[in-house]
A and B are shown apart, each in its own frame.
Chain A
Amino acid sequence: MKRTIFFTTAILLIFLTGCGQSSPTPINVYTGTEGLTINFLENNPPKETYEDSELVVMAEVWNKGAHDLNGSEDNYAVVNLNFDTLYFTGQNPQLYPLFAPSQTQKLTLQGKSQSWPTGEKNYMQMANLKVNKITGTREMPTTTVEASVCYPYETILSQSICMDGDIYNLETTPVCRNKGAYTFSGQGAPIAITKLEVDMIPAGLAQGQTTSLGEETSSMKLKPSFKITFTNVGKGVVFTSNEYLLTQELCSISNRLYEKDNINTLKIKVYLGNDELTCMTNSEVKLYSNEGSIRCEVPQGKVYQINRNYESLLTIQADYYYRTSTSKTVQINRVY
């Protein structure tokens, strides 16, 4: 009897606990090393086609990163299709604005979020291409069709760091200790902050303060300094914007629309708590072999007075444009 009561109670408990409302585990969207990806759909374009025919080019554009391209101001992606005009002719520029340069095709895609953990995906019909009649006596030429996407993006890292004024390790139970260096893999963007080095540089002792018990304490003045390393972890090219250029213009990559110093360059902002830090030089990071570093410090004259160690939030934001592409080789067969 007792055993029956025990099992019945256990089963009831299982059911009752199952009915409880559990809160969903929040996901960290700031992970991964991709921003927007572009890929042709299978058979669009096909591997083989025939002269004097038509083919449809369709691509999947997917925002796998954490930044939203919401269409506001200049925040959209530009898609481009590149092909040899000897073999293809773009059809219907009204329908496919890629062939009408005066028009801008703004592509907006939401990034990863709590409500959309995978990010927004768009299947777009890029173009309807007419396959030209083969010029000359070639039997089956091959040519490449390339689709590229160019977009503004953002890498954000928020990291709790320890404001460690106890340089002589006098505190027996400090709240935190300066770890010195942090490494990261990706923040949901093709440009990743891969390393953060923290230096708590002493700037002297502050005047003593008297506690309620009448004891006089001393506090350390600190000037934190941060070396931040950025890495291009994607396969594309990164460049930064001129203030006066629109995304459409910038992504055309023509000498008259960009300055060469902008290539492989990021613009960054760094905040320690609410204080914006000063970064050498002009808050721009130049990447060499896909990697670049910058040092940021508190503004001139500013020091932090530390009585006891505490944690503060360091926020790093990098803004840039990114271009990535995909290509496919198409064989054109002659119609005898």
Chain B
Amino acid sequence: MSEEEKSPDGWKDWEAGKGKNFSGCIDCSGRGKCRTCEGTGKVVGDVCTTCKGSGKCRKCGGTGKAKKENKSSSQTVVVQSSGDDNSQAPPKAGGPKGPGWFSRKKRDIQDGYNEDKNNAKKERIQTDQNVSRFMGQILILITLIVHVVDGLVFQFSIQPGIMATRITMYLILMVLAHYTLKHTFAQSAKEFMPWAIISIIVVPLFSALLRLVGVPDAIITQISAVIVGIPVWLFYFMYVKGLNYKYEGKSLVGWFLFWLTPVGLARIWFFILVISALILAFNSLAISAENLPGAENSGYDVIGGAQVLVDKINEAGKTFIANIQNIGTGVNGSINKLYNDTLGQYYTGQVEQNKEVTGVFITEFESKDTLYENQQINLYGLISARSFVDEIKLAVTCKAQNTKNSTDIILGTTDPTEVTVYQQDQQGVICTFENGLPTGDYKINLTADFNFETWAYATYTFMDRDFVNSIRQGGENVNDKFDIDQKTRTIYTNGPVMLGLNENLLMPISLTTDITEINKVPVGMTLDNKQASSTTKGTINAVDTFQLRIPKLFYLDKCTKTYSPPQTDANSPDYDVYTFANINPSLSQSYMSVSCNLGISPNDAAQLLGLKGGKAVVSIIGTAKYNYELSKQITIKVNKDPTTV
């Protein structure tokens, strides 16, 4: 049968005299293929509902031949024609119409109508596909922008103020994703929708969850970066059929242009991020953090990084299990902690950029000889320090731990046992195991306990409330007019811990001088351990002093920790020192915060502002003095003495 004979347009063919011999299935034009999916069995990645996935014409079962069916079925009319059947011949002009001619004519018109209807449906499906694809592309593009903003602007920060912004941003993205996936043509995308929605909002909250299980901030930031950069839902969404597309042309220019489309860009993005994440994940764990006590520039150490990663996961798992075990108190504390992480009471800052690296470091620790069992072992360490604390006293110890038997610990002796370093100094230390060690592999830890202090400085700019309101009501920007930073900024000194103050309060901070009102400004401080490097670990053994220094015109109120009566600062007589009590003795797996109201009476506010021409710049200072344990670990191999049999 020729193609012409297979033409679905039976009426036209008839009129042209071509359809008289057409005996195929009109529904599929004699091809035997489902007309909706063109024989593929799928429509936009889903099963074709017309042929139920078979790809065959549902009327002729894929044979392409006509079969007699109930004439009342408007969709399945089959035309059997033969040349000598007068009753089926077209009427002669002006002549009498043959028997059944009108019913055939009616059927044929109905066929033409159904054909048009199917074509319209097909076009509508195609349009839906195009719209879905377009919406999907737009969502991918918006998502990429959101992730770039999150990374570059917010740096995946878990600071409470920024967290709120990040959550808002992802909520908007969530709504967009919901809308897009809901209206997409692909059924599979619809089914995936709840997971996509959940995973989007989990992204910014994930950092808080990690903190819950005790993962250090720096690790959280890195993991957040990976999760945000390579979200599984976006990856899935990109490959939902009908929403993605491939370049199938042969033009080189077209191929290049494809990579500039959202899907192309997204794929490049994934490629770069996967590679970067892998490098970062290992390297950042391995490489020493700059300006950290105990840090050293050890370069790339992938194995070390992997080891630390395993350790961290192990520790995090233990902490998480411990929390579950202490379900009575632990969960309650964890919920509070999560609440604090998410909504506030975690204050941060930026570390001061120094001319030279500042802190206490174990810069070297190594064995210079081949080691044999039961022979004296000497390991050489070098401790260096640069700080602005007058003197730092270090108690130095060392120990060996068998790698196969962790309970097998042997203490070594150090020379000297106590080291005092001044502002910029370095001191050599020898760790000795006089009787040597049995054959085997050992982890040797050189540990230094020392006193240290970290200071944080936040600058607040105050202005009269009514004055500020009047300026704003006049449609002007106060910050521009008075050259004021948008937000408070905290700088803390280099050291093993982070001491944060209010980092993101909007400025200027308004004060009222109306004596019927009161002034309360939030102020808070957080002490948290920093990330250690792969071979150097640090913990805060004990916090000795936790203080806030504020100008005398101000006072503290309603603090979350008790404090002793304020005393005048000996070095800055204009400042009062508030020393907090009930401070955590150790911060091995946690952080410590205090939140207060910073008060100033309306009279004092009037004095403060009046003296300074309506704008007062004031520094708030936080101080933490603590004992820190810095430990550097190396692995040695003790060989069998070759002289013994």
| A138 in contact with B491 (CB, 8 Å) | yes
Check if A84 is an interface residue, CB within 8 A of chain B. yes
The residue from A80, A83, A140, A252 contacting B355, defined by CB atoms under 8 A apart: A140
Which single residue of chain B is at the shortest CB-CB distance from A288? B475
Cβ of A137 within 8 Å of any chain B Cβ, yes or no, is yes
B483 CB–A CB distance under 8 Å:
yes
Q: Which of B130-138, B148-156, B452-460 makes up part of the contact surface?
A: B452-460
Q: Are A255 and B464 in contact (CB under 8 A)?
A: yes
Q: Does any Cβ of A come within 8 Å of B618's Cβ?
A: yes
> Chain B residues near A288 (CB, 8 Å)?
474-475
Which chain A residues numbered 280 to 336 have a C-beta less than 8 Å away from chain B? 286-290, 323, 325, 327, 334, 336
Q: Which one, B86-94, B426-434, B534-542, B568-576, is touching chain A? A: B568-576
Given A137-B387, A137-B388, A138-B457, is A132 in contact with B467 using a C-beta cutoff of 8 Å? Answer: no
The smallest C-beta distance from B211 to any residue of chain A, in angstroms, reads 28
Chain A residues whose CB sits within 8 angstroms of the CB of B619 once the complex forms: 84, 86-87
Q: Does B7 contact A (CB under 8 A)?
A: no
The reply on A47 being an interface residue by CB < 8 A is no
Q: Is B389 in contact with A137, judged by CB distance below 8 angstroms?
A: yes
Q: CB-CB < 8 A to B549: which residues of A?
A: 135
Q: Which residues of B contact A101 (CB under 8 A)?
A: 610-611
Min CB–CB distance A78 → chain B (angstroms): 8
Is B469 positioned at the interface, with any CB of A under 8 Å from its CB? yes
Q: Which residue of A80, A133, A138, A258 has the most chain B CB atoms within 10 A of its CB atom?
A: A138
0 or 1 for each of B403-445: is its CB under 8 Å from A? (1 = yes): 0000000000000000000011000000000000000000000
Q: Is A148 an interface residue when CB atoms closer than 8 A count as contact? A: yes
A277 vs B609: C-alpha distance in the bound complex, in angstroms? Answer: 39
CA gap between A135 and B387 in the complex, in Å: 14
Q: How far in angstroms is the closest Cβ of chain A from B23? A: 81
Kindly list chain A residues whose C-beta atoms are within 8 Å of the C-beta of B481: 235-237
CB distance from B493 to the nearest CB of A (A): 5
How far does the alpha carbon of A336 sit from the alpha carbon of B612 in the complex, in Å? 32
Q: Is the CB of A264 within 8 A of B471?
A: yes
In the complex formed, the residue of B with least CB distance to A137 is B388
- Nearest opposing residue in chain B for A327, CB measure: B483
The reply to whether B613 and A139 form a contact with Cβ atoms under 8 Å apart is no
Q: Write the A257-281 contact mask toward B (1 if CB under 8 angstroms, else 0).
A: 1101111100000000000000000
**Are the CB atoms of B609 and A254 closer together than 8 Å?**
yes
Question: Is the CB–CB distance between B388 and A260 below 8 Å?
Answer: no
User: Nearest-CB distance from B548 to chain A (Å)?
Assistant: 12
Contact A255 B474 (CB under 8 A): no
A150 within 8 A of B: yes
Kindly state whether residue B513 has any CB partner on chain A within 8 Å: yes
Say yes or no for B614: interface residue by CB 8 A criterion.
yes
Q: Which residues of A contact B469 (CB under 8 A)?
A: 260
Given the known interface contacts A84-B618, A138-B493, the answer about A255 and B466 at a Cβ–Cβ threshold of 8 Å is yes
Is B423 within 8 A of A336, CB to CB?
yes
Contact: B471 with A252, CB < 8 Å?
no
Chain B 320-361 near chain A by CB (<8 Å), digits 1 or 0: 000000000000000000000000000000001011001000
- A123-162: contact bitstring with B at CB < 8 Å (1 yes, 0 no)? 0000000001101111111011010101000000000000
Is A133 touching B613 in the complex (CB atoms < 8 A)?
no
**Given A132-B572, A137-B388, A140-B355; A84-B471 close (CB under 8 Å):** no
Q: Lowest 4 CB-CB distances: which A-B pairs, in order?
A: A253-B614, A136-B455, A263-B470, A289-B475
Interface positions of B (Cβ within 8 A of A)? 352, 354-355, 358, 387-389, 423-424, 453-455, 457, 459, 464-467, 469-471, 473-476, 481-483, 491, 493, 512-514, 549, 551, 569, 571-572, 574-575, 606, 609-619, 621, 623
Can you give 7 A-B contacts (C-beta < 8 A)? A86-B572, A135-B571, A136-B623, A137-B453, A146-B483, A253-B464, A253-B613
